[in-house]
Structure 1
Amino acid sequence: MKVILTHEVSGLGAAGDVVDVKDGYARNFLFRRGLATAWTKGGQKQVDAIAQGRATRAIKSLEEAQSIKGNLESKSVTVPAHAGQGGRLFGAVSTADIAAAVKAAGGPELDKRTIEVPTPIKTTGTHAATVRLHPEVRATIELEVVAG
């Protein structure tokens, strides 16, 4: 099934891309989360508008993304989480928790969908996460998970 991505999807494409995916993935994941719309002949106008908007934002935001990357990588972010004995968390640290902690530490407001955590964070200590700031710029942030 051909779909038009309305938001960036990791491993699939950026907003405005027309991609071919399986029907179930489109119906159960992409459409329900508002990440894509079905491709139609009239939808081509939407693809062109998204691509034009992305091109105008990309030129300005590349330099901004580089400066934000330097700012994020220079500081350690403390994430408070409920933990039991031995430093094991009740649940896991979510990307929304990480975005809130970055904002509280004086960093920029990040969209939780742009934050990628390689393995679920279920213990206290130092962990790493990657933030997609721009299609060409990724920042690795250091997280200090503390009981609290």
Structure 2
Amino acid sequence: MKVLLLENVKGLGKAGEVKEVADGYARNYLIPRGMAVPATPENLSQAEYKKRIQEAKMKRLAEDMQALAEALSEITLTFKVKVGEKDKLFGSITNAEIALALERQLGRPFDKHKVELEEPIKQLGIYSVPIRLMPGLVAQVRVVVEKED
């Protein structure tokens, strides 16, 4: 029996693929659990339609993320902090603080997990901080850490 997979099935295939499986496996396992549907022309055309909609959404998302990456590359975040001896910061600047500053500057929520700061910033200076917006798209934000007056 040919089935259209609705989700990834380990050892069988990925969502959207058409696979030939044993009748009993399809009727007793895949179809009742909502993992697949019979590969009828109606189901195939509906799956193709959903696939086109999903591709259009992904294309729009990629365009939006590219525009955001360009906007982020123009941003400079300035942090004024208290320092001790040898210009060492009291505390540090973390990815959460950078994400919060980006939220304020952009006026929209920003996930701290997108900020790829290897370790918190503990010295004065200028840093280039990578922001992973989506797989294959990384923007750089300039972060300036200055001494508080």
TM-score by length of 1: 0.56
Say which SS state the counterpart of residue 63 (structure 1) adopts: helix
Q: Equivalents in 1 of 2:81, 2:8: separation in Å?
A: 38
**Structure 2 counterpart of 1:126, one-letter code:** I
1:124, 1:145 within 8 Å by CA — same for their partners in 2?
Answer: yes
**Structure 2 counterpart of 1:84, one-letter code:** G
Say which SS state the counterpart of residue 83 (structure 2) adopts: coil
Alpha-carbon deviation of 1:107? 6.1
Equivalent residue number for residue 70 of structure 1: 70
Distance 1:87 1:68, change over 3 A: same
**Structure 2 counterpart of 1:134, one-letter code:** M
Equivalent residue number for residue 104 of structure 2: 104
**Structure 1 counterpart of 2:102, one-letter code:** V
2:128, 2:143 within 8 Å by CA — same for their partners in 1?
Answer: yes
Q: Cα deviation per residue 1:96-123 (whole Å; 9 max; x = unaligned)?
A: 1101122333465320011101343111
Alpha-carbon deviation of 1:137? 1.2
2:82, 2:147 within 8 Å by CA — same for their partners in 1?
Answer: yes
2:95, 2:120 within 8 Å by CA — same for their partners in 1?
Answer: no
Say which SS state the counterpart of residue 72 (structure 2) adopts: helix
**Structure 1 counterpart of 2:73, one-letter code:** E
Equivalent residue number for residue 145 of structure 2: 145
**Structure 2 counterpart of 1:123, one-letter code:** Q
Equivalent residue number for residue 79 of structure 2: 79
1:115, 1:129 within 8 Å by CA — same for their partners in 2?
Answer: yes
Identity value in percent: 25
**Structure 1 counterpart of 2:125, one-letter code:** G
**Structure 1 counterpart of 2:127, one-letter code:** H
Map residues 1-148 of structure 1 onto 2, 5 A cutoff.
57-106=57-106, 108-148=108-148
Say which SS state the counterpart of residue 102 (structure 1) adopts: helix
Equivalent residue number for residue 38 of structure 1: none
* Unpaired segments ≥5 residues, structure 2: 1-6, 10-29, 37-50
Which structure: larger Rg? 2
What's the RMSD between the two structures over aligned residues?
3.2
Say which SS state the counterpart of residue 105 (structure 1) adopts: helix
Aligned residue-pair number? 105
**Structure 1 counterpart of 2:113, one-letter code:** R
* Unpaired segments ≥5 residues, structure 1: 1-15, 19-40, 46-51
1:79, 1:97 within 8 Å by CA — same for their partners in 2?
Answer: no
